Structure formats: structure tokens, C-alpha cells
Amino acid sequence: MRKGIFVLLLLAATSAFAQTYPTKPIRILIAQAPGSATDVISRVVGNRLSEALGQPVVIEAKPGAGGVLGTEAAAHSAPDGYALFMANNSTHGSNPALYPKLPYDAVNDFAPISMVASVPYVLIVNPTMPVGTVDQLIKLAKAQPGRINYASAGNGSTHQFCAELLKNMAGIDLVHVPYKGSPPGVTAVVAGEVGVMFANLTDIGGQLKGGKVKPLAVTSASRNPHLPETPTLAEAGLPGFEILSWFALVAPAGTPASIIKQLNTEAVKVLGRDDVKSTLGAQGLTVYSSTPEQVSAHIKSEIAKFTRIAQAAGIKAE
């Protein structure tokens, strides 16, 4: 009898907790630096979630170790709905594929809430390079094996994964030149220090408009509205080539299901707002929501894809 009463009281307390959530500020942890695409997206979404939930939503950046530090901190946060995390293709895609012993489990240490947005990478070249299409770049690379350099945001970055997938699918030899972040890599392409790079669309808006770089293709499955004349890699002769920079809202594993459901409901509403879509869309991002189950399936699929690319290209973390 006492056990039954205890269970009833526990259920009542859990229900009351869910009904009163949230009662204090919520943090969205990010594993990238302030000013990054992850930061911008988190602030736009966080501001609207704050209005919907009636509590401040604060963005807390913990950059370092290629995103590992912030992700680890999020994984080990209290599962009470007050510490969320903006996962992305690095923290929950390439990093699990590269590091055999991460201090977090990208699948089991997190409770998915909703997908948030995605943006393609753009295959860009210095305007002085005598190529205007992917096919022409491939032919030039085959004629000059090992003589064309490509920039990336660092060893193990998604930028490198894109280039190595291109090398593998096209059968060409490009030389990797890693930089400390995407901006220095883009600057190197503009200056002609390297000829090629896969750059996140959000990082090169100004360079594209100013004609400082030449776009050859996008890595998404369909063309991007900001670059309607630029084909996809699949259209350019590499079917199945698709790598996106994506973002998803998650919480630490063990967060009550009722809170996950509430957060998903509000996130779906926020991501359906015209102002959110237009604000993030202006930077090339495609905003969309999903179920928690769809986030989980997406993360598992991304880890498997990046693992295949890493193994085929011999990409290793340093």
C-alpha cells in the first residue's frame, strides 16, 4: 500500500514539475565561438523560445578542441531542461567519426528535440583559375596531379571531408592546406594562396557578391536559392555527393520526456515563424523543424556517412 502511495506521489510530483517548467533561465550551450553560425542561429532561436516559454534563454559558448569541450559540457549537464545544446555536423557527425575515444557519446548522451537549420558548402575557386565548372576543375586536376591546393578550416573539419570526398569520387589529387578556421581559408583562396575550398555559404556571402571567389557547385541535394545558377555536385556529375552544415537542438540524456515534448512543440512553432525563416534565410540557411525521432535518425546517419568518408580517405584527427 505504501509503495503504491509513493508511486502516486512521485507521478504527481513529476507531473507538477512538467506543468511548471520552466521556472528559471535556460541555457543553450554551443561548442563554437561567439559570432559563429552556431551562435547566430542559437541566438535567433533562443530569443523566440524565450518569448514562448516566458524565461530568459542565454547562449553560453564553450569553444575548443574542435567542438569537443562544449559538447562534453552539455552531455554532462543536469538533465532538467535548463541546459540545452545546439548540436551540429561537427559535434554529432565528423567528430564521432574521427575520434575513437570522445568524452561523450553523440547518440546515447543526448535527448534530441528538433532539427533547426542547414546550409550547404560551396565549392569555390580563385577567380584567376581557368575553370568555370566542376568538370573543368577535375580535368585540370588530372592534368596537374598534386599541384592544386585546397584550403580547409583545419584537420578533421567538414571542409576537409567535402574535399576528400570530391577527390575520391572524381579520382583526382588535391593537396590539403589546413587553416585555423574557415575565414583564414577563404582569405587564402581570395589571395590566390590556394586555389580551391569548400566553404560554408554563411561564411562567404560578401566574397561571392564581390566576385572575389568563383562558385562551381553546392553540396546540397538541391540548388540553393541564394545561388540559383550554381549546380549541385550531383548535377555536376558526382551523383550522391551531399554534405551539409546542419544544426539541431538537443538536451542531455535523461531529460524528462514531458519537457522534451514541450520544447519540441515550442521549437516547431518558433522555426515556423516567418521572421525566423527570413532572418536566418538571409544568410543562406534553410530553416526547418522535425520530431525528436527524426533528429536521432539523422545523427546516426551522419556519423555513418562521415565514418565511411574518413576511412576511404584516411582522414585522421591530430
For the chain, list the domains and their CATH numbers: 17-118+245-313 (3.40.190.150), 120-218 (3.40.190.10)
Which pLDDT value is given to residue 16?
47
Which residues pair with residue 57 across a beta bridge? 26
Span 203-239, pLDDT tens digits: 898 999 999 999 999 999 999 999 999 999 999 999 9
Which pLDDT value is given to residue 58?
98
Which pLDDT value is given to residue 66?
86
* Contact between 95 and 106 (Cβ < 8 Å): yes
Strands 214-218 and 174-178, sheet pairing:
unpaired
| 182 pLDDT tier (thresholds 50, 70, 90) | confident
Joined together, the cell numbers standing for residue 17 give 514539475
Q: Write down the mean pLDDT value for the chain.
A: 92
Span 84-142, pLDDT tens digits: 999 999 999 999 999 989 999 999 999 999 999 999 999 999 999 999 999 999 999 99
| 69 pLDDT tier (thresholds 50, 70, 90) | very high
Comparing CA positions, the residue from 150, 96, 88 lying closest to residue 124 is 150
Which pLDDT value is given to residue 193?
96
Mean pLDDT over residues 25-48, rounded? 94
DSSP 104: S
Mean pLDDT over residues 52-63, rounded? 96
Q: Comparing 82-91, 181-190, 308-317, which segment has the lowest mean pLDDT?
A: 308-317
- Burial code (b: 16+ CB inside 10 Å, e: under 16) for 182-193 equals beebbebbbeee
Mean pLDDT over residues 65-89, rounded? 96
| 13 pLDDT tier (thresholds 50, 70, 90) | very low
Which pLDDT value is given to residue 72?
98
Taking 50 as the threshold, does the pLDDT of residue 9 lie above it? Answer: no
Which pLDDT value is given to residue 2?
45
Span 276-287, pLDDT tens digits: 999 999 988 999
Which pLDDT value is given to residue 19?
61
Which pLDDT value is given to residue 256?
98
Taking 50 as the threshold, does the pLDDT of residue 3 lie above it? Answer: no
